[in-house]
Amino acid sequence: MKKVFAILGALLILVLGSACSIEIRSSINTPDTAVPATPATPTTPSMQPAVTQVTAIDPSWKAPTPTDNSPALPNIADVVEAAYTEVVTITTEQYVSDIFSRQVTQTGAGSGWVLDKSGIIVTNNHVVDGAAKIMIQFADGRTYQGNSSNVSRDPLTDLAIIKVDLDNLPAAAIGDSSKLRVGEWVVAIGNPLGKGIRAKEGTISGIKVSLSMDEEESLYDLIETSAAINPGNSGGPLVNMKGEVVGITSAKIAEVGVEGMGYAISINSAMPILQELITRGYITRPFLGVELYTVNKSIAYYYGLGVDHGAAVTFVQASSPAAQAGLRRLDVITKYQDKDINTAPELLRALRNSQIGEEITVTYMRGKNTMTAKMQLTKSPPPK
């Protein structure tokens, strides 16, 4: 009998010991708690700064045509070697106020590339926006210090031109982004994290991609790539296996649990913008003269609007087509020509597809009343 109890005791100890080594995991998915959005208060700009004189860099400049006779390079090292000398690093300084209203200097890093040997550098608008000083370093060791007077930029497409007083620079070969295919190898070259020129390979994962940056800015005809694009890469070239520039790296989405997706503005859509920045100094577009904000249910409730969708007018510029047509702050545009408008970006896209001088009709809500207005689009004024 003692022997039986001894055997039972040993088995009990074995079972308990095994149980101690069992790891129990529980994963309970709790629904996200919806946090009511605090409606953004549309703001009207304060005193406008004085309009600066905009001058063209070179009114006779013509964009280089895509090259189609470049030999295919055998590997990525050859691609980088061919394109490396055309890439520049950009360091910026701007003056900002701290929490105690003291002026402090804030530095930033970006990239660019040589479009023309006469000293025309391409980068992103957000790299140089607000910069008081711009330091450019070339692959051969030369440096150039400029400021905002050296820059022509277009915030809407996130493109900018920097003119430097240097010549015989190594200009990049321009490719044809319409010939790109998903799965094709490309290389992003730039200045990630301000560490100097680096190259990272990847493939094209999407073409003709659209990306909304905020309520007023959306980018179109983007190239999506798996090549790593980090802060500081912005403005650098995306090159194909011939070493030709097919895109301008501009933005990156990186979320927890999601592999980073890099984006570049296609060179075919960028070149007309760059052409006008060089020959005119700024981009002309159809001009309505309003600032807009997307309406949703919370915005409609907060401001007592008569509709819960559309593009709310937050500011009307004096003497603009909208002002002459009688539009006011908090009017909500719900239709442009015959197209329904649900968001501010939709209205901006419709406006961009119109022509300067075209007469258009908008339908809008003022309180509970539906109203229409006709107006003739004018040419956008120079940037301030």
Beta bridge partners of 102: none
**b/e per residue 257-286 (b: at least 16 CB within 10 A):** eeeebbbbbbbbbbbebbebbbbbbbbebb
Q: What is the mean pLDDT of the chain?
A: 85
| Residue-level pLDDT at 46 | 53
Residue extent(s) of CATH 2.30.42.10 domains in the chain: 286-379
Residue in 116, 154, 158, 331 annotated catalytic: 158
pLDDT band at 375 (very low <50, low <70, confident <90, very high): very high
Residue in 111, 126, 218, 250 annotated catalytic: 126
Beta bridge partners of 199: 189
Q: What percent of the chain has pLDDT over 70?
A: 83
Residue 309 annotated among the catalytic residues of the structure: no
Mean pLDDT to the nearest integer, 88-100: 89
Q: Please state the CATH superfamily assignment of the domain spanning residues 177-279 in this structure.
A: Trypsin-like serine proteases (2.40.10.10)
Residue in 111, 152, 218, 234 annotated catalytic: 234
Residue extent(s) of CATH 2.40.10.10 domains in the chain: 82-163, 177-279
Mean pLDDT to the nearest integer, 213-236: 84
Distance CA 170, CA 187 (A): 18
Report whether pLDDT(335) > 90: yes
| Residue-level pLDDT at 213 | 66
**CATH assignment of 82-163, given 3.40.50.300, 3.30.9.10, 3.30.160.110, 2.40.10.10?**
2.40.10.10
Residues 310 and 333: beta-carbon distance below 8 Å: yes
Look at 2-16, 96-110, 144-158, 176-190 and tell me which has the smallest mean pLDDT.
2-16
| Residue-level pLDDT at 201 | 94
Q: What would the pLDDT profile of 245-274 be if each residue is shown by its tens digit?
A: 999 998 776 655 556 789 999 999 999 999
| Residue-level pLDDT at 15 | 39
pLDDT band at 167 (very low <50, low <70, confident <90, very high): confident
**CATH assignment of 286-379, given 2.30.42.10, 1.20.1580.10, 3.30.930.10, 3.40.50.10440?**
2.30.42.10
| Residue-level pLDDT at 14 | 39
Mean pLDDT to the nearest integer, 22-44: 45
Mean pLDDT to the nearest integer, 211-231: 81
Dump strand ranges (E) for 158-298.
159-163, 185-190, 198-212, 218-225, 237-239, 245-255, 258-266, 286-287, 290-294
Q: What would the pLDDT profile of 121-141 be if each residue is shown by its tens digit?
A: 999 999 999 999 999 999 988
Residues 159 and 125: beta-carbon distance below 8 Å: yes
pTM value? 0.73
